[in-house]
Amino acid sequence: MAHRVTGVLIFFFLFVHVLDTALVRVSPEDYDKVVATYKTPIVACLEYGLVAAILFHALNGLRVIAVDFWSKGPRYQKQMLWSVVGLWVVLMLGAIYPVLGHAARELFGS
């Protein structure tokens, strides 16, 4: 279920991303305003959520491939799921500063 939800979330992000990028041809001033909103701490948190969704979707996709194409995959799918979740948590902890560092500095100062 989480794989499908993250896939849908990523799709909607890509849809919005294409629309806001296309805005540069229609109205460069409005495009600049939209891009300025992307530099807010709230959007930084949403970006962290996007990183979480993409990372989980990618790691779980590799697990799904292993289950489908590895003869022992179905037998080890539960262990692989917990491995994916563990690796995802470790990588998300490592992504806190790179993704949220600017927002923290803006909110709390240098």
Each residue of 75-88: pLDDT tens digit? 999 999 999 999 99
Give 109's pLDDT tier (boundaries 50, 70, 90). Answer: confident
Q: So what's the pLDDT on residue 92? A: 96
Mean pLDDT of 15-26: 90
Q: So what's the pLDDT on residue 7? A: 94
Q: Which of 1, 9, 13 is nearest to 60 (CA)?
A: 1
27 touches 64 (CB < 8 A): no
Coil, helix or strand at residue 49: helix
